[in-house]
Amino acid sequence: GNSVTQMEGPVTLSEEAFLTINCTYTATGYPSLFWYVQYPGEGLQLLLKATKADDKGSNKGFEATYRKETTSFHLEKGSVQVSDSAVYFCALSAETEKLVFGKGTKLTVNP
Amino acid sequence: DTAVSQTPKYLVTQMGNDKSIKCEQNLGHDTMYWYKQDSKKFLKIMFSYNNKELIINETVPNRFSPKSPDKAHLNLHINSLELGDSAVYFCASSPRGGYGYTFGSGTRLTVV
């Protein structure tokens, strides 16, 4: 079946550091890929998405590129801020339309 | 405001009770979902309805019964609550095709 594997963390960085959160997937067909963010005590918000190979999703300084050859969708940000502290979820959506999530990566950014 | 709203936000109840969580979306989406987030933050789909029709029913105990009176509402009723049901339950909706999910803010259920 479809699945998503992401680095589990937790990840702790200093402000302005570079962030990478790895995400790989297994899916039949051609899934759409997503990153969601969950701030403390809140629901999930869509951070960015990519619907086909080589697409790059970007939002709020975060980027991820859909790599079909490596089945990956790694999340990156060049300079993190304290306000980026949250749990980040990689997810895919295939033919059934349901979202399959990775286990989440907790990011803490210290001033 | 256009959104997915679910109530209540917090629910504390005793084992054995029956409770309901309500969800409404005013985004005009065709599909609605219930997801469960456990204590380790792992998210798993429970149910999906498209235009009032059940289309996904994952391995969920029969004590959980979704009800969709119309395509803008998807409620979750839970019978005979157990300690292991304690979790955060998220409602979500999406247009046909599954793109552009919008999540509610969650209901934190605590069974004591």
Task: Render pLDDT for B17-50 as a digit per residue (tens, 0 to 9).
Answer: 999 999 999 999 989 999 999 988 899 999 988 8
Share of chain B above pLDDT 90, in %: 71
- Report CA dihedral (B6, B10, B16, B19) to the nearest 10 degrees: -20
pLDDT at A80 over 70: yes
State the average pLDDT over residues B68-89: 95
Of the candidates A34, A43, A87, the beta carbon closest to that of B41 is on A87
State the average pLDDT over residues A81-99: 89
Contact of B41 with chain A, judged by CB distance below 8 Å, is answered with yes
- Report CA dihedral (A95, A57, B26, B31) to the nearest 10 degrees: 10
- What is the identity of the amino acid at B75? N
pLDDT at B82 over 70: yes
User: How confident is the model at residue A96, as a pLDDT?
Assistant: 65
Residue with tokens 């570079």: A18
- Report CA dihedral (B60, B82, A37, B55) to the nearest 10 degrees: 20
Instruction: Give the whole-angstrom CA distance, residue B86 versus residue B91.
Output: 16
pLDDT at B2 over 70: no
Could you give the 3-state DSSP secondary structure of residue B12? strand
User: How confident is the model at residue B99, as a pLDDT?
Assistant: 66
Residues of A in contact with B48 (CB under 8 A): 97-98
User: How confident is the model at residue A95, as a pLDDT?
Assistant: 67
Contact (CB<8Å) A101/B97: no
Give residue-wise pLDDT tens across range A10-39.
Answer: 999 999 999 999 999 999 888 999 999 999
Nearest to B76 by CA among B91, B86, B87, B98: B91
Give residue-wise pLDDT tens across range B94-112.
Answer: 887 656 789 999 999 999 9
Instruction: Give the whole-angstrom CA distance, residue B83 versus residue B109.
Output: 10
A51-58 long-range contacts, CB within 8 A, separation 24+: A51/B99, A57/A33
Residue in B closest to A47 by C-alpha: B100
- What is the identity of the amino acid at B60? V
Peptide bond into B69 cis (omega under 30): no
Q: Name the average pLDDT for chain B.
A: 91
pLDDT at A4 over 80: yes
Of the candidates B94, B99, B105, the beta carbon closest to that of A42 is on B105
User: How confident is the model at residue A108, as a pLDDT?
Assistant: 97
User: How many contacts, defined by CB atoms under 8 Å, are there between A and B?
Assistant: 56
State the average pLDDT over residues A29-58: 92
Share of chain A above pLDDT 70, in %: 97
pLDDT at A100 over 70: yes
User: How confident is the model at residue A97, as a pLDDT?
Assistant: 67
User: How confident is the model at residue B60, as a pLDDT?
Assistant: 87
Residue in A closest to B4 by C-alpha: A43
Contact of A87 with chain B, judged by CB distance below 8 Å, is answered with yes
